[in-house]
Amino acid sequence: MARPDKAAAVAELEDKFRSSNAVVLTSYTGLTVAQLKTLRRSLGENAQYAVVKNTLTKIAANQAGIAALDDQLAGSTAVAFVTGDPVESAKALRDFAKENPNLVIKGGVLDGKALSADEFKKLADLESREVLLSKLAGAFKGKQSQTASLLQALPSKFVRTAEALRVKLAEQGGAE
């Protein structure tokens, strides 16, 4: 790699690989420039979508310590570098692919682990991080309420039983 422009491109890609939470490889053959622009917009601020050269991407990924992408880097390839919530980006890619069948998700990497296209589709089916955290908080609150009710029930039941016993003894004492 004698050309400085290619060395700079590899260095830039390597930096993107290192700073991304997830990387998704797609095939974009048949998409128009306008469709690619729409896709970039739908990914939002937490992801960058770039058409890349396979050889330069392979070199950059290997230098970043990611060897799992070598088999998927064939044919026309574009990469989504996700720095934010990977679920949101996976949903955006899935939704766009439904509307535009020319976009094919090849696979990628999530937090250093290789994922297939099917695994990314499963990731897209997850609820957002905020929804999952709120469900978790609701479950914790529900368990706390159950525990509080249980702890209140014992003394309350004791008081009701003692009162019933007092009333019964009073009735028996007054009848004699």
pLDDT in tens, 43-66: 878 888 888 888 888 888 877 777
Q: What percent of the chain has pLDDT over 70?
A: 96
Least confident interval from 36-50, 66-80, 86-100: 66-80
pLDDT at 43 (0 to 100) = 81
* Chain segment 66-77, per-residue pLDDT in tens: 777 777 777 788
Q: Distance between CA 25 and CA 115 in Å, rounded?
A: 10
Residue among 43, 7, 25, 51 nearest 104 (CA): 25
- pTM comes to 0.65
pLDDT at 24 (0 to 100) = 85
Band (pLDDT 50/70/90 cuts) for residue 175 is low
The answer to whether 127 and 157 have CB atoms below 8 angstroms apart is no
pLDDT at 79 (0 to 100) = 85
Q: Distance between CA 172 and CA 120 in Å, rounded?
A: 75
